[in-house]
Amino acid sequence: MLSKKTKYGLKALTYIARSEGDSPIQVAVIAKSEQIPQKFLESILLTLRKSGILGSKKGKHGGYYLREEPSEIKMTDVMRVLEGPIAMVPCVSLNYYEKCDDCPNEHKCSVNKLMLQVRDSTLKVFRNTTLADLSNTNE
């Protein structure tokens, strides 16, 4: 299951991408429009900022803005920040690889074999999708 955190994060990013003016968007505005608990959203946007996807401005007229064009923001990056590793099992993870304690031979492991395929196909989707694709209303 997708966590609420990721769901809210994606919706917020989409909202910001669609609002593309010059001024930053405030958490309260997004929270209200997308029906997301504001305090929760605050912490999510903070994570996105720390990861470099969002920028922020404090104080009056502050808020969050995208650091790159929506078409440059790949879902691989967004998903890794929000949801963690894309692989369902550490032994097939590109960025967080870890050997299984039990598994004596990874290449003979049925779970490894299957999950490798799943990872590859999911990765293909995330690599080919940008925030611009998500924000595009028509389609």
Contacts to a copy of itself by CB under 8 A? 1-2, 7, 10-11, 14, 34-35, 75, 84-85, 88-89, 102, 108-111, 113-115, 117-118, 121-122, 124-126, 129, 133-135, 137, 139
Beta bridge partners of 56: 64
Give me the least distance between CB of 138 and a copy of itself, in Å please. Answer: 9
Per DSSP, the residues of 79-133 read HHHHH--SSSSGGG-SSS----SS-S-GGG-HHHHHHHHHHHHHHHHHHT-BHHH
User: CB-wise, 83 or 106, nearer to DNA?
Assistant: 83
Instruction: Look at residue 89 and give the partner it binds from a copy of itself, DNA, none, a contact being a CB closer than 5 to 8 Å depending on partner kind.
Output: a copy of itself
CA distance 62 to 49: 14
> 43 φ, ψ to 5°?
-70, -30
Give me the least distance between CB of 81 and a copy of itself, in Å please. Answer: 15
Give me the least distance between CB of 135 and DNA, in Å please. Answer: 19
Give me the least distance between CB of 42 and a copy of itself, in Å please. Answer: 18
CA distance 114 to 96: 18
93 near DNA, judged by CB under 7 A: no
CA distance 27 to 127: 28
Among 21, 39, 105, 121, binds DNA (CB under 7 A): 39
100 near DNA, judged by CB under 7 A: no
